[in-house]
Amino acid sequence: MVEFIDIGDVSAAEIDRLRGVYGPLAESVRQLIDATIRTEVDADTVAAIREQIDGATAALRSRQIDGPFGVRFTTGGERLPWGNPVIGLRNPIAPPLTIEHGDDGTVYADFELGAAYEGPPGHVHGGISALILDHILGEVAANSINPRFTGTITLRYLRPTRLGRLHAEAMTTRSEGIKSYATGYLADDEGVTVEAEGVFIEPKWARG
């Protein structure tokens, strides 16, 4: 049902080249998203800019894959989750987070959220905090090996999270067969704002 795509024996150099082509494109689109929300240019200017954007879209679509990006992996075992809305190098919706692994088994990320992620004025949408925590708890639960899907997750909001520089962190508290229990938090410059805990389950098709 959920199929990963084997792209074969692609060299690390070729992966790096692709990263260098499509990463900056997504970054340009991230800037455009921010400008689209914040612009105050007039109707005629907007109409002219829309034509440029539609032209860019048509050019990109002149050669494109059918359907979504999927999660690709190489024969060497490198995973390329480039379409992911949290960490995806090629997904302009993703901030994107760079997942770091601490010596103590924690997983964490430092990142910035701006206008595109706003719920209450000046603050992060509660659901965006949930998106990020679901992802980072899932990363630590998967432990870099098999994917684990969220079974249950609970989020406790201590106070609103300011837009700007943020830190998210997660750790596994317990593993029992196909289940991993993880906990984590989101923090802004004044400390923890949202706490999360969840159960993550190894999907049937991934079990040895």
**Residues 65-124 interacting with a second copy (rule: CB under 8 A):** 65, 67-71, 82-86, 88, 90-93, 114-123
Taking CB under 8 A as the rule, does residue 6 contact a second copy? no
Q: What is the C-alpha to C-alpha distance for residues 111 and 165, in angstroms, rounded to an integer?
A: 6
Is 28 near a second copy (CB under 8 A)? yes
Residue nearer to a second copy on the CB measure, 12 or 35: 35
Write the single-letter amino acid at 208: G
Q: Which of residues 134-153 bind a second copy (CB under 8 A)?
A: 134-135, 138, 147, 149-153
Q: Counting every residue, how long is the chain? A: 208
* Interaction of residue 16 with a second copy, rule CB under 8 A: no
Is residue 26 a contact point for a second copy (CB under 8 A)? yes
State which amino acid sits at residue 88. G
- Contact residue for a second copy among 126, 143, 175, 178 (CB under 8 A): 126
* 2 part of the interface to a second copy, by CB under 8 A: yes
Alpha helices, DSSP H, located in 94-184? 126-142
Please report whether residue 168 would count as binding a second copy according to CB under 8 A: no
> Tokens in use for 47?
């109409």
Distance CA 89, CA 71 (A): 12
Q: Residue 182's beta-bridge partner residues?
A: 172, 198
